[in-house]
Amino acid sequence: MSENNPQRNVFDAIADPTRRRLVRLLAETDEMPLHELTAHFQMGRTAVSKHLTILKEAGLVLDRKVGRETRFRLNASPLQEVQDWVAFYSKFWSTNMLRLKQLLEEEEE
Amino acid sequence: MSENNPQRNVFDAIADPTRRRLVRLLAETDEMPLHELTAHFQMGRTAVSKHLTILKEAGLVLDRKVGRETRFRLNASPLQEVQDWVAFYSKFWSTNMLRLKQLLEEEEE
DNA sequence: TTGACACGACACCAAACAGTGTCATATAAT
DNA sequence: ATTATATGACACTGTTTGGTGTCGTGTCAA
């Protein structure tokens, strides 16, 4: 199969703490096989593999076979969607914006 | 009960598309009662209420009772954690960084 | 005072999730 | 040739999720 593309949502993919740790690990090491990634967690290989599949479905991770091992690498670009999304709300906590909001509310009265 | 504080994760809270729409709605209207929010969705009131509870547990939403209705308002500041998290990875897709990466890889040979 | 409305608090349900263990197979090492 | 390693694929399981419907209660309106 391999090209099973269930179009997984990025927000879904990064919701799980294990998957965020995987993303972080891959950010630091450029490329890592499954068994090495697994060594960083308490859970078994199968569980880690499933998480990587979800990350793959979200486009956050690429893999290639090298000999008997499957090496994973990070593809961070789908995270742009998250950044764009959250950037929209940054105005709600920036102090300048709170100041502006106050002024606008005063004007409306 | 009411002060049940299960310390819900922000990433978890924004994973669901319905909850992201709720956040957006509240960003646009400052304050809205449950029944009005519900009107924007296909699902029933109970379901929307549950999503709002999850948002509340993540600190993304505040509520106050006004007469017989419960009004919800956005509190975006927990989203800073998301922004900080994703900012770390922005270097992986910025074109300048890709350029730099190339240069470093060339140097290593 | 009698409804209509808004809501919280259940009980309930199917599907997804996050793990486990096992088996078969391809590759590497001895 | 044999053995150890790395993985994919699968079956299984308890828990969470995302929805439903219903009931009881407080509040507003006629």
In this prediction, residues B86-93 reach a mean pLDDT of 91
Phi-psi region of A78 (alpha: psi -120 to 50; beta: other; left: phi over 0): alpha
Question: Would you say residue B62 has pLDDT above 80?
Answer: yes
Length B42 CA → D30 C1' (Å): 32
User: Which chain A residues touch B27 with a CB distance below 8 Å?
Assistant: 88-89, 92
How many Cα atoms occupy the beta-carbon half-sphere of B16 within 13 Å?
A: 14
Query: pTM, whole model, 2 decimals?
Result: 0.86
For residues B96 and B94, give the distance between their C-alpha atoms in angstroms, rounded to a whole number: 5
pLDDT value of residue A84 = 96
pLDDT value of residue A1 = 38
Length A62 CA → D16 C1' (Å): 29
Residue A20: Cβ within 10 Å count: 15
Residue B69: Cβ within 10 Å count: 13
For A:9-28, CB contacts with B below 8 A are 9, 11-12, 14-15, 17, 20, 23, 27
pLDDT value of residue A61 = 97
Residue ranges of domains in chain A, CATH in brackets: 1-77 (1.10.10.10), 79-109 (no CATH)
Nearest CA in chain A to B24: A89
Nucleotides of D under 7 A from a protein CB: 5-11, 17-22, 26-28
pLDDT-based confidence at residue B94 (cuts at 50, 70, 90): confident
Least-confidence region, from A4-8, A41-45, B28-32, B51-55: A4-8
Is residue B1 packed enough to be buried (19+ CB in 10 Å), middle (13-18) or exposed (0-12)? exposed
Question: Would you say residue B106 has pLDDT above 70?
Answer: no
> b vs e for A71-87, b when ≥16 Cβ sit within 10 Å of the residue's Cβ?
bbebbbebbeebbebbe
